[in-house]
A and B are shown apart, each in its own frame.
Chain A
Amino acid sequence: NAGVTQTPKFQVLKTGQSMTLQCAQDMNHNSMYWYQQDPGMGLRLIYYSASEGTTDKGEVPNGYNVSRLNKREFSLRLESAAPSQTSVYFCASSETGGTGELFFGEGSRLTVL
């Protein structure tokens, strides 16, 4: 079972470059999320998508854009990377209702020089 798959796992960018983090889930979940993790800061929600065709801002959306391409895929784009965006990014998905358990990918480690 693949679950939630993120690519790439590692990326180094120069300031000002752009890139897209890809996420796909095979559990037929309606909701998908992008989180940012920094040491001592926990996980902060960047954007989420409650269903195909909808996206909403989380706590820290500035500098990011998202696309819910279809039910399976939810991508995160950095248009002009900054060193402050050096972080680990996690994609997650969940069913609607129920216990609300989130299923996470393994993370994408991004360094901006």
Chain B
Amino acid sequence: GEDVEQSLFLSVREGDSSVINCTYTDSSSTYLYWYKQEPGAGLQLLTYIFSNMDMKQDQRLTVLLNKKDKHLSLRIADTQTGDSAIYFCAERDDKLIFGTGTRLQVFP
């Protein structure tokens, strides 16, 4: 069945880069997504990548997709305290399947 896995926690110093990793199992996924959830709020789409792309860059965000290994990563450059949140990877075939979420903590 479909499964999306992420590590639960990541802690980085302000100004460093953060890399959040995700593995998925459904090779027919058309889109892969990164959502951000701030405390007490719903999820918001951060960025997405189409399955025929290897990389997508959007300001401080870089998404890398390795289809062979079914591995997706999100790199946040110059991480700020405002980036502290839970980050969810998700894949879409006919429905959206979410990973467990990675809690990013940014310390000064």
Contact = CB atoms under 8 A, between A and B. Distances in A.
Main secondary structure of the interface of B (DSSP, over half): strand
Report the interface size class on chain B: 20 to 34
B8 A102 contact: no
A102 B100 contact: no
A43 interface: yes
B92 interface: yes
A48 B35 CA distance: 19
Given A40-B8, A99-B31, A100-B31, A45 B95 contact: yes
A104 interface: yes
A104 B90 CA distance: 14
Given A40-B8, A90-B43, A102 B99 contact: no
B45 A107 contact: no
B96 interface: yes
B96 A41 contact: no
A86 B48 CA distance: 31
Interface residues of A, number: 21
Given A99-B31, A99-B48, A101-B48, A42 B42 contact: no
A40 B33 CA distance: 19
B95 A106 contact: no
A90 B41 CA distance: 10
Interface of A: 4, 33, 35, 40-45, 48, 58, 90, 92, 99-102, 104-107
26 contacts: A4-B42, A35-B98, A42-B4, A42-B98, A42-B99, A42-B100, A42-B101, A43-B88, A45-B96, A45-B97, A48-B95, A58-B95, A90-B42, A92-B43, A99-B48, A100-B30, A100-B31, A100-B92, A100-B96, A102-B35, A102-B43, A104-B43, A105-B42, A106-B40, A107-B40, A107-B41
